[in-house]
């Protein structure tokens, strides 16, 4: 094998293929990962075998250098507009030959901007000295290169590497992504990493996406980018993803945004951004002073190089430095990068204002009122202030409360009607479900309104719980009023969902009766005509319509059909469901 590897390196017989890394927001291509293959049909065609033999024979440097050069030669024409992800072993990165053979000057000779190169550092290799390794990483970041931690969730170092290296991108290992729609533990881990990434201004790339269900749940979690066979396989050319795959992303995003009444969890920070003209990091203190002096309302200035935010200078901080002894003499003619905050809060356009507010208040006290910088597709988009953020959150929550049921907090009639109209207009294959409680009035009259309200809250909680456990996609639940609820769901097994709701409801509702009434299975109460009658334990009637055929012309027509189905269900004296 050693002889074969030597021949491969000597003849430069390496094939390079490229797999796109795709935005899970709009389906655009962020860049391509360069993947190397040995000679086709040879024992070393597979990359794992190729590098295994190289490591066994102390030839990793020579092999990696060849792979990088081949990738760069092939990618030169693509580089001005897309990023290139290059796999690098930490042991190689610390090698003096790597440092001397892969510098900013070296890249410029090839006509490639280092800012378009991302080093993917695999987490599978153990790093023995983080102090030395971090110094190496910082050196490359200073030259303009970016860093991604590869295989996160599968290697030795895990969170320690993230904390020490502070990469620009976190690539989640495919074993973490595989069947994530069916694995609650994996979902919890990815959700936690997604929240962590937002709070420290990193971007997540999910590797190994192979199914639509995996894609959908990753979009639900707010994962920034994806890579995998579902989106596009590796190829010798720089392929775009297909229109169908792009539509999968866009349709899922549209579905998530499909709420007519926005709340703080759906209104994005980008929608309240304002554009403040940024300053380059090489600008002097004199330039900053002119900006602050010319406009008293400007409290901060975003520092942006090449479209990418690199810092922030706040008015109070700037003048505090000038007020020190020799401050004016030292800083007025020197670049602002010496004074700026190099770790301001930077968030993506699509981050919800609720999420941004949580991150903002966790900042150090002296930075609580610093501007929040907003990016779109990693480029500077604008800023917002903490004051503006809080005002928007207050307003949308007031609007939400105005159109919500005061008891359950669920959307009311206006929102329900608009959501139903929306699925009709977009011809979505969704189930619309009408829930109604049987014998609720008799219970309310006998046990009182306070206990009646407890039953309604219980019903809302059970429906929400079962909707969440039976569908990986986002569901909608509204409260019409009284004991009537409407849901919209994309579950694959509607019968199981209905069975689950009925079973849980029938088990829990008995706890709201006295032991005597529970044992009897009924209560005695007066009917509408004042005559005493036996009323069974409250049950739930469920009417279901599948919108797949889309034969309803209006929300009113669909609602009428639901009411007819509901009446059919209520003929029974026990929980049941009817599906059109």
Using one digit for the tens of pLDDT, what is the confidence trace for 179-188?
998 888 999 9
Which range of 83-97, 99-113, 449-463 scores highest in mean pLDDT? It is 449-463
pLDDT in tens, 512-554: 999 999 999 999 888 777 788 889 999 999 999 988 766 777 7
In percent, the amount of the chain with pLDDT more than 70 equals 91
State both tokens at 257: 């945004």
* Cβ atoms of residues 68 and 33 within 8 Å: no
The DSSP symbol for 366 reads G
202-227 mean pLDDT: 92
231-240 mean pLDDT: 92
pLDDT of res. 260: 37
pLDDT in tens, 478-488: 998 889 999 99
H/E run at residue 477: strand 476-481
pLDDT in tens, 1-56: 888 888 888 888 889 999 999 999 889 899 999 999 988 888 888 888 888 888 88
498-521 mean pLDDT: 93
The DSSP symbol for 242 reads P
* Cβ atoms of residues 74 and 37 within 8 Å: no
> Which segments of 265-321 are extended strands (E)?
300-305, 308-314
pLDDT of res. 102: 63
Tell me the C-alpha distance between 99 and 262, whole Å.
Answer: 51
pLDDT of res. 87: 87
pLDDT of res. 542: 95
**Chain-wide mean pLDDT for the chain?**
86
0.85 exceeded by pTM: no
* Cβ atoms of residues 286 and 333 within 8 Å: yes
pLDDT in tens, 355-374: 888 888 888 888 889 999 99
77-104 mean pLDDT: 71
Paired with 433 in beta bridges are 487, 544
* Domains of the chain, CATH where assigned: 269-394 (3.10.580.10), 406-579 (3.30.70.270)
Among the listed ranges 13-17, 75-79, 133-137, which one has the minimum average pLDDT value?
75-79
Paired with 539 in beta bridges are 438
182-204 mean pLDDT: 86
Higher pLDDT, 474 or 309: 309
Tell me the C-alpha distance between 223 and 246, whole Å.
Answer: 16
* Cβ atoms of residues 438 and 539 within 8 Å: yes
Taking 60 as the threshold, does the pLDDT of residue 423 lie above it? yes
pLDDT of res. 100: 57
Taking 60 as the threshold, does the pLDDT of residue 333 lie above it? yes
Taking 50 as the threshold, does the pLDDT of residue 473 lie above it? yes
Tell me the C-alpha distance between 291 and 329, whole Å.
Answer: 19
pLDDT of res. 261: 42
Taking 60 as the threshold, does the pLDDT of residue 112 lie above it? yes
Write the DSSP assignment of 161-200 as a string of letters: HHHHH--SEEEEPHHHHTTGGG-HHHHHHHHHHHHHHHHT
CA 279 to chain centre: 30
Higher pLDDT, 432 or 42: 432
Taking 60 as the threshold, does the pLDDT of residue 259 lie above it? no
Tell me the C-alpha distance between 34 and 17, whole Å.
Answer: 6
Tell me the C-alpha distance between 119 and 142, whole Å.
Answer: 13
Higher pLDDT, 254 or 121: 121
| Coil/strand/helix, residue 81 | coil
């Amino acid at each position: 094998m050693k002889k074969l590897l030597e021949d491969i390196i000597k003849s430069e017989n390496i094939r390079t293929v490229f797999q796109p890394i795709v935005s899970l927001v709009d389906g655009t291509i962020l860049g391509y990962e360069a993947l190397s293959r040995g000679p086709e049909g040879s024992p070393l065609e597979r990359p794992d075998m190729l590098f295994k033999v190289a490591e066994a024979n102390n030839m990793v440097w020579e092999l990696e250098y060849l792979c990088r050069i081949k990738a760069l030669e092939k990618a030169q024409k693509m580089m001005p507009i897309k990023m290139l992800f290059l796999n690098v072993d930490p042991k190689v990165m610390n090698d003096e030959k790597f440092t001397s053979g892969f510098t900013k000057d070296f890249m410029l000779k090839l006509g490639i901007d280092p800012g378009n190169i991302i080093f993917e550092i695999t987490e599978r290799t153990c790093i023995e000295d983080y102090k030395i390794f971090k110094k190496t990483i910082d050196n490359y970041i200073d030259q303009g290169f970016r860093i991604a931690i590869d295989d996160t969730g599968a290697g030795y170092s895990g969170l320690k590497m993230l904390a020490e290296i502070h990469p620009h991108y976190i690539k989640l290992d495919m074993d973490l992504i595989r069947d994530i729609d069916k694995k609650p533990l994996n979902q919890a881990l990815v959700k936690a990493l997604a929240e962590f990434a937002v709070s420290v201004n990193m971007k997540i790339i999910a590797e190994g996406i192979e199914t639509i269900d995996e894609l959908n749940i990753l979009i639900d979690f707010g994962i920034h980018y994806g890579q995998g066979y579902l989106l596009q396989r590796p190829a010798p050319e720089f392929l775009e993803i297909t229109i169908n795959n792009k539509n999968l992303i866009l349709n899922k995003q549209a579905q998530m945004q499909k709420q007519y009444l926005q709340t703080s969890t759906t209104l994005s920070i980008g929608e309240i951004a304002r554009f403040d003209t940024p300053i380059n990091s090489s600008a002097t203190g004199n330039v900053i002073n002119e900006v602050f002096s010319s406009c008293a309302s400007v409290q901060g200035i975003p520092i942006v190089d090449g479209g990418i935010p690199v810092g922030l200078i706040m008015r109070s901080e700037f003048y505090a430095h000038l007020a020190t002894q020799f401050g004016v003499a030292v800083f007025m003619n020197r670049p602002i990068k010496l004074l700026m905050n190099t770790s301001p809060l930077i968030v993506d356009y699509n981050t919800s204002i609720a999420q941004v507010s949580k991150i903002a208040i966790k900042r150090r006290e002296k930075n609580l009122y610093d501007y929040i910088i907003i990016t779109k597709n990693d480029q500077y988009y604008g800023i917002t202030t903490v004051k503006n953020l809080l005002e928007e959150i207050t307003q949308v929550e007031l609007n939400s409360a105005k159109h919500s049921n005061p008891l359950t907090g669920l959307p009311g009639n206006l929102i329900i009607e608009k959501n139903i109209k929306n699925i009709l207009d977009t011809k979505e294959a969704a189930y619309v479900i009408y829930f109604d409680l049987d014998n609720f009035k008799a219970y309310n009259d006998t046990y009182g309104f306070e206990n009646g309200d407890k039953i309604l809250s219980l019903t809302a909680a059970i429906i929400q719980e079962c909707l969440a456990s039976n569908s990986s996609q986002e569901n909608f639940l509204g409260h019409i009023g009284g004991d009537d609820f409407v849901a919209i769901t994309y579950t694959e097994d509607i019968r199981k969902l209905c069975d689950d709701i009925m079973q849980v409801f029938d088990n829990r509702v008995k706890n709201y009766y006295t032991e005597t009434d529970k044992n009897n299975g009924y209560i005695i109460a007066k009917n509408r005509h004042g005559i005493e009658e036996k009323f069974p334990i409250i049950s739930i009637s469920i009417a279901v319509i599948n919108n797949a055929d889309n034969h309803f012309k209006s929300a009113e027509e669909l609602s009428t059909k639901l009411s007819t189905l509901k009446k059919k269900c209520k003929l029974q004296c026990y929980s049941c469901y009817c599906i059109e």
